[in-house]
């Protein structure tokens, strides 16, 4: 059975390529993970997601524990079987969603007590329960339970939040059931304060997680402050383990983060943008709703291998999106996810060739 391990293959300045080996297959890094929050990447068949070149997708503890329930998914064979995705799955711990979506939440040392945003039912999500749910789902990569520090936060607020995340990280690690080919990532917090980020990393490195995530960015601080934090934060983490920047992002953000030593990303932007009629291309973004495309017989991109570009014109996509046809969301999402995977492949090729990542799209 495959051991969970990370091989660093190439490095150009701070940029890295590697392969993450897991029970469910290999992940080429830098990697972008399409978001499949509720057990599905919106508007996509799993086979379609696979065709874009994705090695791994992301699921979410908070949403799946509420609907259809982690125990139900476990009884049906786990999330991989349930959603027909045999490749790796990383599950968010639910900490961010508890803070952003739930009602009447109360944070204590034990965890977060909250009311469901769906039906108002009360739940407790603790480090132990979050880890247990992710085990029931069969997650390839389990995330430690953390408090996502809001922005802006004072130094004292960020320090208190970071320390809670460190204590929760210890409890998450103790609750993790180690199995061959599976891993757990710790999450460093500390907002935009270097001293706190360093302390958070020190605390979590003692727990010897299989990988590490940088949390609490892309929460309103802006690209400048995010990049200033990434100028030093990845270097706080082990060289021989994957580094994951949570919730990022836009193509320019991904490129900037890779140049600073980050290996893994996830974001809803490509799927959400696709459903709203925005396409990412090497030449910039395209709003397919614009009337200039209603008679445009050309594809979004001539050299894109996705189903939308190979088979349909911008005029047809414009029509589908304007009239609200579901196929419009499917094709636009398919293109965007393909663009993101093509972007990651280009990034990996540049690093392997010793080139700077001096492109934006």
Band of pLDDT at residue 280, cut at 50, 70 and 90: very high
CA distances from 223 to 159, 190, 231, 252, 350 (A): 22, 17, 12, 9, 23
The catalytically annotated residue of 92, 146, 253, 263 is 92
The catalytically annotated residue of 55, 253, 263, 266 is 266
Cα Dmax for the chain: 60
pLDDT digit string, tens, across residues 150-187 = 899 999 999 999 999 999 999 999 999 999 999 999 99
pTM of the entire predicted model: 0.97
pLDDT greater than 90 at residue 99: no
Q: Find out whether 184 and 193 touch, Cβ atoms under 8 Å.
A: no
Q: What is the mean pLDDT of residues 244-260?
A: 97
pLDDT greater than 70 at residue 71: yes
Band of pLDDT at residue 360, cut at 50, 70 and 90: low
Domains of the chain (ranges, CATH numbers): 5-267 (3.20.20.105), 268-361 (no CATH)
- How many C-beta neighbours within 10 Å does residue 27 have? 24
pLDDT greater than 90 at residue 223: yes
- 266 is a catalytic site residue: yes
- From the list 35, 150, 18, 136, the residue with the least C-alpha distance to 80 is 136
The C-alpha atoms of residue 61 and residue 143 are separated, in whole angstroms, by 10
- 356 is a catalytic site residue: no
Q: What is the mean pLDDT of residues 89-100?
A: 86
Q: Find out whether 129 and 76 touch, Cβ atoms under 8 Å.
A: no
The C-alpha atoms of residue 265 and residue 290 are separated, in whole angstroms, by 30
pLDDT digit string, tens, across residues 25-43 = 999 999 999 999 999 999 9
- From the list 4, 262, 139, 176, the residue with the least C-alpha distance to 253 is 262
Helix axes 251-258, 326-352, angle to 10 degrees: 20
Band of pLDDT at residue 103, cut at 50, 70 and 90: low
């Amino acid at each position: 059975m495959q051991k969970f391990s990370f091989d660093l293959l190439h490095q150009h300045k701070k940029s890295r390529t590697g392969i993450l080996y897991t029970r469910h297959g290999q992940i080429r890094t830098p990697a972008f993970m399409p978001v499949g929050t509720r057990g599905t990447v919106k508007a996509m068949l799993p086979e379609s997601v696979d065709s874009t070149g994705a090695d791994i997708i992301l699921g979410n503890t908070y949403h799946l524990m509420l609907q259809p329930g982690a125990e139900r998914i476990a009884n049906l064979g786990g999330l991989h079987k349930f959603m027909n995705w045999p490749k790796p799955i990383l599950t968010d711990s639910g900490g961010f969603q508890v803070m952003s979506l739930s009602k009447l939440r109360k944070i204590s040392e034990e965890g977060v007590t909250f009311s469901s945003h769906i039906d108002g039912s009360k739940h407790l999500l603790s480090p132990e329960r979050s880890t247990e749910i992710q085990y029931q789902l069969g997650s390839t990569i389990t995330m430690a339970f953390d408090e996502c520090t809001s922005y802006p936060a004072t130094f004292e607020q960020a320090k208190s939040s970071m320390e809670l995340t460190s204590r929760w990280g210890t409890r998450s690690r103790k609750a993790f059931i180690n199995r061959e080919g599976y891993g757990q990532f710790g999450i460093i917090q500390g907002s935009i304060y270097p001293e706190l980020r360093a302390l958070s990393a020190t605390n979590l490195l003692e727990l010897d997680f299989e990988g590490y995530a940088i949390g609490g960015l892309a929460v309103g601080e802006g690209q400048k402050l995010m990049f200033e934090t990434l100028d030093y934060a990845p270097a706080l983490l082990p060289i021989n383990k994957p580094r994951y920047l949570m919730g990022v992002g836009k193509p320019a953000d991904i490129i900037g983060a890779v140049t600073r030593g980050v290996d893994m990303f996830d974001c809803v932007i490509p799927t959400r943008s696709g459903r709203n009629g925005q396409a990412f291309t090497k030449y910039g973004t395209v709003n397919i709703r614009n009337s200039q495309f209603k008679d445009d017989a050309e594809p979004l991109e001539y050299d894109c291998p996705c189903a939308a570009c190979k088979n349909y014109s911008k005029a047809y996509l414009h029509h589908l999106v304007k009239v609200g046809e579901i196929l419009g969301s499917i094709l636009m999402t398919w293109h965007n996810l393909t663009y993101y995977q093509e972007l990651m492949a280009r990034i990996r090729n540049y690093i392997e060739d010793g080139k700077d990542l001096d492109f934006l799209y």
